[in-house]
Amino acid sequence: MEGERRERGREKAGSDTMSLQRCQAEWEEIDREFQQLQETHKVYKQKLDELTNLQTICSNSISKQKKSLSDLKHNLQRCIQTSSPKEVEYIKDIQAQIKERKQNVFFDMEAYLPKKNGLYLNLVLGNVNVTLLSNQAKFAYKDEYEKFKLYMTIILLLGAITCRFLLNYRVTDEIFNFLLVWYYCTLTIRESILISNGSRIKGWWVSHHYVSTFLSGVMLTWPDGLMYQMFRNQFLAFSVYQSFVQFLQYYYQSGCLYRLRALGERNHLDLTVEGFQSWMWRGLTFLLPFLFFGHFWQLYNAVKLFGLSSHEECKEWQVFMLGLTFLILFLGNFLTTLKVVHQKFQKNKDKVKKKE
């Protein structure tokens, strides 16, 4: 009995010794890896400092180039008045190259360099660098933005249907309106970050989301009452239609953008939008009737609200303000879409004339 106990004690002591040796070997391996990690991190910090210096040099060089090209362009414009036809042709060629560099080449370069945020991003995020340095990071952020729009469009469609046909409560209306405010605010922030990273989305389709944020905010503050109830169902029905059209647009625009990117005709950071652009012409013209119907529905909303604002029992400032905002949305959407369609018809006419 005593012998067995001693034997087990010796086995345990041997096992503890082996365990300690394994722990010691594991610690030595971890320590070696730690030493390598320190060296790697040291190199990383050096490269990071080099990268920061290169960014500063590139940014300063681009600014200097822009100033020099602007001065040269001004001098060439003065020279063109006293130049021969051959010299004028040479000057125009230089001017075309200057325009290409300022509008495209420098734009692509600056997409990979840190830059100061615009007023809106400064107000929302502060002076934080939002530039994504790799193409992979830019595309991942752009794809995440597109998925966010798609998922939120579906959620807003279901929310509008629920409020319109199932739940006639003020609290559910408030939740839906708050969701609209949050959605459009988030879109404006994400789009500003994408623009800082080289996306060429601009013009009315950027301003459109700011106006929509304001409209949703006014709807959120509109108190319940006779005027609100007289417009509620019309607004929710419009929201259902708008979300449905936005879902259609996303589905078909994303497919069209994929084909154009594969052909090298579109930038990889181009986005789907709520309106109509020239690149959508091929295969997406069937969307135009849906878009124009939505635009005129916005006009109908404005007319309805202006009528309610003159009602003898109307005391809320939100009624007239919403009417004005819907009118702005109609004018912006309708005129921009009409401009794109007109430009496309003009280009098609020019192509036909050249062939003739």
Structural domain boundaries in the chain: 39-100, 133-355
In this prediction, residue 333 has a pLDDT band, given cuts at 50, 70 and 90, of very high
Both tokens of 45, joined, read 């910090």
Query: Which one has a higher pLDDT value, 258 or 132?
Result: 132
Q: What is the pLDDT of residues 251-296, one digit of tens each?
A: 777 766 666 565 555 555 666 666 655 555 565 677 888 889 999 9
Q: What pLDDT does 50 receive?
A: 92
Instruction: Tokens for 243, please give them.
Output: 């979300």
Show the CA angle centred on residue 294, arms to residues 337 and 345, nearest 5°. Answer: 25
Residue 239's pLDDT is what? 96
Report the distance separating Cα 121 and Cα 108, nearest Å.
21
DSSP letters, 318-336, are HHHHHHHHHHHHHHHHHHH
pLDDT at 130 over 60: yes
Q: Which of 316, 297, 304, 168 minimizes the C-alpha distance to 241? A: 297
Buried b (16+ CB within 10 A) or exposed e, 189-216: bbbbbbbbbbbeeeebbeebbebbbbbb
What is the average pLDDT value for the chain, to the nearest integer?
A: 85
* SS3 state at 349: helix
> 0.85 cut: is pTM over it?
no
Task: Produce one character per residue of 224-234: b if its CB has 16 or more CB atoms within 10 Å, e if not.
Answer: eeebbebbbee
Pull the structure tokens for residue 317.
């400032």
Q: Does the pLDDT value for residue 77 go beyond 90?
A: no
H helices of the chain, in order, are: 2-79, 85-100, 106-110, 119-125, 135-165, 170-196, 204-221, 226-262, 281-284, 287-309, 317-355
Q: Are 344 and 274 in contact (CB under 8 A)?
A: no
Give the separation between CA 319 and CA 322, rounded to whole angstroms: 5
Return the pLDDT at 159. 96
Q: Could you read off the pLDDT of 10-23 as tens digits, one per residue?
A: 555 556 666 888 88
pLDDT at residue number 102 = 83
Specify whether the CB–CB gap between 313 and 227 falls below 8 A.
Answer: yes
Structure tokens at 77: 């414009």
With 80 as the cut, is the pLDDT of residue 188 above it? yes
State the pLDDT at residue 90.
87
Q: Is the separation of the CB atoms in 204 and 332 below 8 Å?
A: yes
Q: Report d(CA 322, CA 210) in Å as an integer.
A: 14
| Spatial contact of 346 and 253, defined as CB atoms under 8 Å apart | no
